Structure 1
Amino acid sequence: MVSTRAHKSEFPPPDATPSKALTRSPRSRSKWQHVPSPIALLWLLVSLPLVIWDTGYVLLRPHSMPGGWAHAPIWKPYELYGKVDYMYGWKAYNERNGFTAAQGALNMVETVGYLGYLWVVWDYGEGEKRAVGGGWGGVACLVGFALCVMTVSKTVLYWLNEYYSGFENIGHNDPMSLIFLWLIPNGAWLVLPSYMGYLLARDILHGLAIASGDASSKPARAAEPIKDE
């Protein structure tokens, strides 16, 4: 009978290095990051105080309107704007038009969401660009994109309300007043949130491409995926 002990030395020792089939390629180890746009951050820092100011005026009516105890000095400029856009003036208030107040209620939800986005970017972002990776980066992108859609949709609805009412609340303005006191200020809430939403959508799609194994797609800005060494 041949002893099996004699054959042990004939077998090569197991290879301690991982099999090539089990080794992840650099592409599969790519890490996705959301890099907030400086323009988007600047827009939020400017627009959020204005939205809070506007919402306060709408929800505190009639106290925030001319003659009310809260009107001056905080909401004094609305004395003029209420004459440009009757939705903010006595006409809509006396007619118990609830559209402006309903929009103001949505503004509160929108503002809280944007503040949450800024908090994630500030608290979890790294480096000068405040890049946010992992789950929190995904949360920031998803929430930010949803809020951008909300902002643009709400603004479009406001414009369509004027169109389908025969410009009942702004049709009395001369062209220059309409352009500089209504179209340009309100148009900012169409252009910049649309741009911000576009960048967030690009980041979301880029992350999904990496998750599906395709890291060849490009993110919204010059933020190439970080690869493990």
Structure 2
Amino acid sequence: IPKVTQFIVDKGISYFESKEGKQKLGKMIEDFLATRGMLGNMIGMFLGNESLVDKVQPEVIKFLKNDETKVLVTTLIGREWNSIQDMTFNELDQKWGFVEKGSRILDTVIDTLKVDELLSKPISTYLKPNEEKIIKEWLPMVVDVSTKYLISHLDEILKQLKLEDVVREQVESFAVERLEDIILSISRKEFKMITYLGALLGGIIGGLQAIIVMFIQ
């Protein structure tokens, strides 16, 4: 809030020091005198509008530069900010018309950027000119970042996927006959390999025994 206050005060000083600000100040004095009837006309006649502006302008700038002015503006903004925080979105919209103003701004942006025209074009229109850069730079970077993320969060991802529960549910949903077929198909392969290995070892041992017997005799 103090930064906002300083910004407002600085802009105010800059404005009223400018030619435009002086003219606006003169118009305000003229309108003020016009509402005071004969007294205003007499003051304007004796002093003149230009003379009043020359006297009022330095006082306005002096007022804005005063530290008490900053304190006053800070207090007012703080009070308004506290009030805003207690308001609902509907109340804010009723007070400042956010929805209507936001819609107008959005329409202006859409018209200026020709969003409808941009969205009606195929994606290839935007990808084709950058094809080489996408393939050689962007895609490897995306893959690298994605891979590092997956590796660093693998445990968490597996927990989120609940793979153990999925496997358990799938196994529990199997029919008993299906489980028996799976177990027997695996065991047959293992038993066959054991049989072949036993035959091989038996042949090797038998051959060695035969050789030893020949040497002994």
Q: TM-score, normalised by structure 1?
A: 0.18
Q: TM-score, normalised by structure 2?
A: 0.19
Q: Which structure: greater helix fraction?
A: 2
Task: Work out which structure has the larger RCO, using CA pairs closer than 8 Å and 6 or more positions apart in sequence.
Answer: 1
